[in-house]
Structure 1
Amino acid sequence: MADGQIVAIKKLTRGSAEEMTMDYLSELGIIVHVDHPNIAKLIGYCVEGGMHLVLQLSPNGSLASLLYEAKEKLSWSIRYKVATGTAEGLYYLHEGCQRRIIHKDIKASNILLTENFEAQISDFGLAKWLPDQWTHHTVSKIEGTFGYLPPEFFMHGIVDEKTDVYAYGVLLLELITGKQALDSAQHSLVMWAKPLIKENKIKQLVDPVMGDDYDLEELERLVFIASLTYSEELLDNEEYNSTRYLNDINRHMETVLGTSKDS
């Protein structure tokens, strides 16, 4: 830019001209209303030569690129920092905005990392406002990324805070294991991890590249939170609404974040 600032440019390219316009206005209409250290920062926008969003550059790229493509593997301290930062950003979207926002596509490639490895949630292309009087959205087509979508989405097309929370749990498992949400054979990371967690074999979850270089108490904390996010008892209980679900997650997350939140 003219002031020497280096930025990232997102250009919308998918769909018809009408679809791109609708998607662009929808994403822009959401991201201009968010302001949090753990959310990608919008610098500006431009419609000359296409539809562009101008974002503050995250020098370390995406979590996915560092977990799965970089030669140097992420340390446990950075992984834990990403886990807590993403939780802060997600809590802000669900509870801290003027209106609740459901991101709908929380995944490793949508978590950007600043120079100091602060996590920033990005890509609001699928995000939706959720009015106070609504408990959820119901969608007729699959939106999001396989491996991060909860069972209730496939069964009922329901989108609410639990959709993001489930995806966050998958993200935690990726940080812990170094494995992708779906492997090359389309096997689910959640389904692989569940029996190990149930049998309390959590050390078998740890990314081998870390060896024993991790904090056991922090590991146990993140594994427990991940197990809450996919709890079938909670996901299938219609009386256990999104607010109660989030409060339970946040109650345990308080220890991770080192902050107090209202329940």
Structure 2
Amino acid sequence: MAYVGEQKPYSPRENENEKCGKPQPPNIPGHEVAKVKTKKQNSLYPSASAEDLRYLDMEKDKPDESSPRGVLDACTRDSQSNKSSHENSKSKSSQSGGLFNWSKLLRLWSKKSIKRLASFPPVNVPKISRRKSRSERENPQLCILYNFQNSLVSFTFSELQTATHNFSAENLVGKGGYADVYKGCLKDGQLIAVKRLTKGTADEKTSGFLSELGIIAHVNHPNVAKLIGSCIEEGMHLVFQLSPLGSLGSVLHGSKNTIIGWKERYKIALGTADGLLYLHDSCLKRIIHRDIKADNILLTEDYEPQICDFGLAKWLPKQCSHHNVSKFEGTFGYFAPEYFMHGIVDEKTDVYSFGVLLLELMTGRPALDDQQRSLVIWAKPLLDSNDTKKLIDPSLGENYIPEEMDLVALTASLCIEQSPILRPRMNQASAELDGFMSPILS
């Protein structure tokens, strides 16, 4: 089944209407439920007052501090704990419908962020030890966020303007549903990629900015892009390290003067698999990226791939098998069928996108061509008939290792299965790509 259309990410980010994949309770009539609830409440709290019950409801509605939003909210609560009760009551009354007070958190972020590193003397800087706050001691997630925040550089908007030539079109290297990515060069010669949030209201941009920071704070792997700083002047900006090669999409589908050899392509496939495996299985929190594509794979100087852009990423709790989202986001050509049709998000969603990426490395073709024709639709019959020769990028000629090409073709065919049940998990896909599982799966 083909999914064709304009190759651009979809509509506004959803913060609500998501459901965790859990077994559903039996359908019990409403009046019976009311009886049971009343009986249970009376038995558990025979002498509870209305005020006590309201307190219990408030306890039940407390946010999950293990989630990105919970971590950020806890950070804000801790930073404002020393303010007067008058200020607290004034702050609470200004919130409408439980809307998060973004401006105060951003002032906190800006205040806590370190200045440009060059403004500090290189030596003899006293290390100030502070006693950890109660919230920081009780919630280790806060420690991670604090330490991560203090490791970032707080850029000024003028610095980013200078680095990207005022965000010129020539420096635009990626365009998404919510952000544009520009390449740039700092005064010290360091190359950077600046992700500039462009779509949505001010609150939506701030929410996306903080959510992505909450995800990246828990990620540390050679095959995941490194965030080096941020800027909250004139909008929301995230600054990543960048090599002269740029993204896989720009190298593979850009200028025809650049041809990636098979050795480099195979290395990119293995490295991307390792990065995804880390996000799914080895990261502190289980992360579903949701937008794996060639433009979101940065390449170092030695063609080591780094997964970037966590704007659509989701944390998947251990007790959940999947998320259900009411609006799907991502890039046409990489959508898994169950995500496109039913809004189901889990590890197998990323596995399907990874299979499409492998086909791009094999064939040199984009996920959707200029006529919006699907690479998967074209390649699937050739994979099923084991006609690998017709899939190979003509620019490679005979300069490839047949055994490695067969491993990539087999892994790709498994990853793009229509049914998620038939797709491997990333640990299986990575092992197959390395040749460890070929006797079992072939």
Residue 215 of structure 1 pairs with residue 415 of structure 2: no
1:150, 1:167 within 8 Å by CA — same for their partners in 2?
Answer: yes
- Quote the residue 2:285 is aligned against: 99
CA-to-aligned-CA distance 1:23-65 (integer Å, 9 cap, x gap): 1111111012101000000112221222111211232101011
TM-score (norm. length: structure 2): 0.54
| Deviation >3 Å, runs of 4+ | 244-248
Query: What's the C-alpha RMSD, in Å, of the aligned pairs?
Result: 1.9
- Quote the residue 1:260 is aligned against: none
- Quote the residue 1:187 is aligned against: 373
Task: Map 1:110-259 onto structure 2 (within 5 A).
Answer: 110-232=296-418, 234-235=419-420, 237=421, 245-255=425-435
CA-to-aligned-CA distance 1:143-176 (integer Å, 9 cap, x gap): 0111001111122110110110100000000000
1:169, 1:227 within 8 Å by CA — same for their partners in 2?
Answer: yes
User: What is the SS of the residue equivalent to 2:435?
Assistant: helix
Letter of the structure 2 residue corresponding to residue 91 of structure 1: L
Letter of the structure 2 residue corresponding to residue 177 of structure 1: T
In the TM superposition, what is the alpha-carbon distance from 1:256 to its structure 2 partner?
A: 7.3
Residue 60 of structure 1 pairs with residue 245 of structure 2: yes
- Quote the residue 2:260 is aligned against: 74
Distance 1:97 1:9, change over 3 A: same
Tell me the distance in 1 between the aligned counterparts of 2:436 and 2:296: 22
- Quote the residue 2:11 is aligned against: none
* Alignment equivalent of 1:9, drawn from 182, 194, 199: 194
1:32, 1:42 within 8 Å by CA — same for their partners in 2?
Answer: no
Tell me the distance in 1 between the aligned counterparts of 2:302 and 2:436: 19
Tell me the distance in 2 between the aligned counterparts of 1:31 and 1:198: 38
User: What is the SS of the residue equivalent to 2:368?
Assistant: coil
Letter of the structure 2 residue corresponding to residue 85 of structure 1: G
* Alignment equivalent of 2:216, drawn from 4, 13, 31: 31
Letter of the structure 2 residue corresponding to residue 252 of structure 1: E
Provide structure 2 residue ranges, at least 5 long, that are not aligned to the other structure: 1-115, 119-187, 438-442
In the TM superposition, what is the alpha-carbon distance from 1:16 to its structure 2 partner?
A: 1.0
In the TM superposition, what is the alpha-carbon distance from 1:72 to its structure 2 partner?
A: 2.0
Tell me the distance in 2 between the aligned counterparts of 1:126 and 1:210: 34
In the TM superposition, what is the alpha-carbon distance from 1:133 to its structure 2 partner?
A: 0.6
In the TM superposition, what is the alpha-carbon distance from 1:203 to its structure 2 partner?
A: 0.8
In the TM superposition, what is the alpha-carbon distance from 1:254 to its structure 2 partner?
A: 4.2
Residue identity over aligned pairs, in percent, reads 57
Provide structure 1 residue ranges, at least 5 long, that are not aligned to the other structure: 258-263
Tell me the distance in 2 between the aligned counterparts of 1:96 and 1:155: 29
Tell me the distance in 2 between the aligned counterparts of 1:142 and 1:102: 14
TM-score (norm. length: structure 1): 0.90
Distance 1:215 1:72, change over 3 A: same
- Quote the residue 2:274 is aligned against: 88
Tell me the distance in 1 between the aligned counterparts of 2:275 and 2:406: 22
Q: Which moved more, 1:218-227 or 1:71-80?
A: 71-80
1:221, 1:256 within 8 Å by CA — same for their partners in 2?
Answer: no
Letter of the structure 1 residue corresponding to residue 329 of structure 2: E
In the TM superposition, what is the alpha-carbon distance from 1:250 to its structure 2 partner?
A: 3.8
Q: Which moved more, 1:137-146 or 1:168-177?
A: 137-146
Residue 22 of structure 1 pairs with residue 207 of structure 2: yes
In the TM superposition, what is the alpha-carbon distance from 1:221 to its structure 2 partner?
A: 0.1
Tell me the distance in 1 between the aligned counterparts of 2:232 and 2:385: 54
User: What is the SS of the residue equivalent to 2:270?
Assistant: helix
2:280, 2:287 within 8 Å by CA — same for their partners in 1?
Answer: yes
Tell me the distance in 1 between the aligned counterparts of 2:432 and 2:369: 29
In the TM superposition, what is the alpha-carbon distance from 1:249 to its structure 2 partner?
A: 2.4
CA-to-aligned-CA distance 1:113-153 (integer Å, 9 cap, x gap): 01111000010110011111111111111201110011111
CA-to-aligned-CA distance 1:100-123 (integer Å, 9 cap, x gap): 100000000000001111000010
Tell me the distance in 2 between the aligned counterparts of 1:217 and 1:118: 21
Letter of the structure 1 residue corresponding to residue 201 of structure 2: S
Tell me the distance in 2 between the aligned counterparts of 1:41 and 1:58: 12
